[in-house]
Amino acid sequence: MNPSEKHHTKYLCSAWLPKDYPNEDRPEVAMAGRSNAGKSSFLNAIFGKKLAKVSGTPGKTRSLNFFNFGEYYRWVDMPGYGFASRGKKEKEAWTQAIESYLSHRPNLCGLVLIMDARRDWSADEDLLVKWGAHFQKPVLVLLNKADKFSRSQGLRRKAQIEKQSGVPCLLVSASLKKGCEEAETYIYENWIAPYLGLDLNDDNEGEE
């Protein structure tokens, strides 16, 4: 998205049930990840301002938070998973809420899974990728905190996770705001523009 459009970015609402979701008037990208993976930090990095709340208490986000991003699409920050203190009933409620959103949202055009690049791929991440495949939504994995690796280490980690997940992966550092704009560009060009039927080559017409 053009940086000049970011002043249109705003928090829209929080919701738990489908009846409370905002209108399906634009495509949406869902953001998933462990409670301490850096979802909110990544969103704030691409928003250019602090709209998503970064909590010192992992797992505090309990609802789906909707953010209009520029003029074209919307980000949905989903509750984090994998927080050890959560009980069985709460985990079941999380699963139900996420499945409900993924299955009842026709304008959802992709699922972004952010994870700490230092963590191993687990059954939790595998479940989200399988959900994406089941609901026929593309999935992109963002390997956050990539600044903890050297370039060669990061590339090896990226190749490893791509092989395990079977989906594209990108290296980012939300805290340093590295790779975040590139990730948003990937999402816009590969998910949003095709969904809206936008021709990204229009800007080049008439150039020699």
pLDDT single digits (tens) 135-162: 999 999 999 999 999 999 999 999 999 9
CATH number, domain at 51? 3.40.50.300
For residue 144, with 0-12 CB atoms within 10 Å meaning exposed, 13-18 middle and 19 or more buried, which class applies? buried
Strand pairing category for 169-171 and 139-144 = parallel
Mean pLDDT over each residue of the chain, to the nearest integer: 87
Supply the pLDDT for residue 5: 56
Would you give the distance in Å from CA 136 to the centre of its chain? 16
Instruction: Find the helix or strand (DSSP H, E) in which 140 lies.
Output: strand 139-144
Supply the pLDDT for residue 6: 55
Strand pairing category for 73-77 and 64-69 = antiparallel
pLDDT confidence band for 54 (50 / 70 / 90): low
Strands (DSSP E) found in 87-201: 108-116, 139-144, 169-171
pLDDT single digits (tens) 1-18: 554 455 589 999 999 889
Supply the pLDDT for residue 57: 46
Q: Please identify which residue in the block is written with the tokens 């462990």.
A: 34
Domain limits at 157?
A: 3-204
User: How many distinct structural domains can be found in the chain?
Assistant: 1
Supply the pLDDT for residue 1: 53
Supply the pLDDT for residue 207: 44
Residue type, 7: H
CB 162 within 8 A of CB 170: no
Does pLDDT of 205 surpass 80?
no
pLDDT single digits (tens) 72-112: 999 999 988 765 455 677 777 777 888 889 988 999 999 99
- H helices, E strands: number in the chain: 6, 7
pLDDT confidence band for 190 (50 / 70 / 90): very high
For residue 125, with 0-12 CB atoms within 10 Å meaning exposed, 13-18 middle and 19 or more buried, which class applies? buried
Over residues 177-197, mean pLDDT: 96
Does pLDDT of 208 surpass 70?
no
Supply the pLDDT for residue 108: 97
164's tokens: 């395990």
